Amino acid sequence: MNIEIALVFSIVLIAAGLLITEKLRADVIALLSLIALALTGLVSPTEAFSGFSRPAVMTILSIFIITAALERTGVTRVIGDRLLRLAGGKESRLIPLIMIAGALLSLVMNNIAAGAVLLPAIIGITRQTDVKPSKLLMPLSFATMLGGMATLLTTSNILVSNALRDAGQKSFSLFDFAPVGVPIVIAGILYMVIVGQRLLPQRNPGSQVRKSATPKQLSDLYELDRGVCHIYVQAGSAMAGLSVEEGGWNEKLGLTVIGVSRGGRVWLSPDKDYRVIEGDVVVAGGQTDDVELAYFGLKQTEDTTWNGEFASEVIDLVEVILAPRSEFAGKTLKEIDFRDKYGLSVLSIWREGNAIREAVAEIPLELGDALLVQGLRNKIKLLRTDPNVLVLDEDEDAPTLKPHKGWLSAGIVIIALTLATLDVIPIAEAFFTAAIALVLTKCLTMDEAYKSIEWRSIFLIAGFIPLGTALDHSGAAALIGNWLVSALGGFGPAVLAGGLFIATTLILQVLGNVGSAVIFAPIAIKAAEQMGSDPRAFAMAVALGTSMAFLTPTAHPVNVMMMGPGGYTVRDFTKVGIGLTVVLFVVVLIALPLVWGL
């Protein structure tokens, strides 16, 4: 081991430690590792910033745009709805069909996007049947990862393919994963149908609403009536004459204003400029005491005008969860300026089986939280467009786009897939051209294209790519490859490939798919060269391992996205996922040698 290898190992370990402790954002850690590699001379300045121009990054960027176009033109919604309708209301049919839908969408979409597209539709099904979300959402999450194992169009698969090309080897084509990935998808679905569904919890999380999902049912499930108080604004009150915003009801009293009763009428979800006057009765969520109220010239009362409803013809109640990688995570509603920004009120937060109704604006939000939001329907419609959140119902008033746009966008994507599959043009060029064509044909605007790109993911990937280069150039990959060959090579290449698969699967649970792909791809290639085996076979083992995020919810953002609506715990994922991981490991050990001649 020389000084360069020691430096690379140090940077890898420090980056891993920061990722585990979550002291910094993952994309910031990637960029810091890039800087460290450049300053220590482990990579040249050109190599340090080459990640931003790699075909792998441009392919991933193009996939974000293509996914947005397919969503905007209604293609993904049609695919999801058609498959889900086939299931009817029977749980035994819903699980396999939902998994098929998730796997199919993830063949051409980002896994997270595939899960987000189907999530509202599945919540809608649970609201019309007696099937619980906890029985359907984990299968959906797992299906998106299984589908990603059958195609190149997954972030980690693209990165591994990029590592092959950098090493002077032939990179993977679009459907090189299919011969091994399709059996994996089939085995995964069979496991979930035969075994997994029996292990899934029967749980009624607060974010599950049954039947018609009326505002009344939502308020009952969140037990809003238990936390409602009626506050009378007395003559001379310090709150009289102030707008809802100026009054600072949440900051001063820990109350969320639900409505204001005046003159025999109740104004629900008043906007921030609505002025409270003497004689009003403020209907508020939360608890306070008489001493605090008296200080502001207020007192508790009973108002017979309010009928206990939290919605009306123009005011609605909806559930919202934080999207994966949401900028809202770790921030309070006050820090986000949620009420001012959206003109909506959060009445309750559902977290780990409990509804929080007091001082909700002061509570830092967490991924997996479900928020009960009240406000004008047109404001809620705008909220649906925010990438930081997902509204857990389907928008019945969503505009139906012209059918020819759907066919047009689907046609452009199919042409790109065909050209890439036949090697007429490289995958990056095919998909980037398709993305531009979708803009030119007005399937989405250029501004929408920019907004659709998950820039944090792009910087995360581009920042970590030089780490793979450093592992290769410094000799660190060759050294680890030699250790692996010494330990497992005597048992044959199939066992060594299996060892790489297991190692990648375990590291994935901690570092995520990008980090595990960047680290293990060059190691697998060097190990294969030392064994005299096909480097693409060993690289395939690593690529498949980077999708095995079944053991913990934090291993993949799509798992986190399902936690709140499904009411899952970490133990639920481990309980169901460990058997699936074992089954897929066996499939890989059988299929990989048969397909790649190990």
Which DSSP string corresponds to 405-448?
A: HHHHHHHHHHHHHHHHHTTSS-HHHHHHHHHHHHHHTTSS-HHH
CA–CA gap between residue 502 and residue 496 (Å, rounded):
10
Among residues 189, 112, 115, 109, which one has the least CA distance to residue 151? 109
Among residues 392, 388, 372, which one has the least CA distance to residue 322? 388
Q: At a CB cut-off of 8 Å and minimum separation 6, what does 418 contact?
A: none
Q: At a CB cut-off of 8 Å and minimum separation 6, what does 179 contact?
A: 591, 595
Give the pLDDT of residue 397. 53
Give the pLDDT of residue 538. 94
Tokens standing for 254? 């820990």
Tokens standing for 497? 């490939």
Among residues 279, 247, 389, 258, which one has the least CA distance to residue 325? 389
Among residues 565, 572, 588, which one has the least CA distance to residue 505? 588
**Contact indicator for 587, 543 with CB cutoff of 8 Å:** no
Kindly give the residue spans of alpha helices, DSSP state H, lying in 222-311: 244-247, 249-253, 290-295
Q: At a CB cut-off of 8 Å and minimum separation 6, what does 430 contact?
A: 416, 417, 419, 420, 424
Regions in the chain scoring below 70 on pLDDT: 1, 80-81, 83-84, 87-90, 127-128, 203-217, 220-221, 223, 352-353, 393-403
Among residues 381, 419, 422, 375, which one has the least CA distance to residue 398? 381
Give the pLDDT of residue 211. 39
Three-class secondary structure of residue 471 per DSSP? helix
pTM over 0.85: no
CA–CA gap between residue 71 and residue 577 (Å, rounded):
29
CA–CA gap between residue 515 and residue 461 (Å, rounded):
8
Give the pLDDT of residue 145. 93
Phi, psi of 357 (to 5 degrees): -120, -10
Name 265's bridge partners. Answer: 262
**Contact indicator for 555, 512 with CB cutoff of 8 Å:** yes
CA–CA gap between residue 169 and residue 418 (Å, rounded):
23
Three-class secondary structure of residue 317 per DSSP? strand
CA–CA gap between residue 500 and residue 505 (Å, rounded):
8
CA–CA gap between residue 65 and residue 68 (Å, rounded):
5
Give the pLDDT of residue 12. 86
Give the pLDDT of residue 212. 41
- The radius of gyration computed from the CA coordinates of the chain, to the nearest angstrom, equals 26
What are the counts of helices (DSSP H) followed by strands (DSSP E) for the chain?
Answer: 27, 10
Phi, psi of 306 (to 5 degrees): -75, 125
Among residues 381, 407, 322, which one has the least CA distance to residue 79? 407
Give the pLDDT of residue 501. 93
Phi, psi of 100 (to 5 degrees): -65, -45
At 202, which amino acid appears?
Q
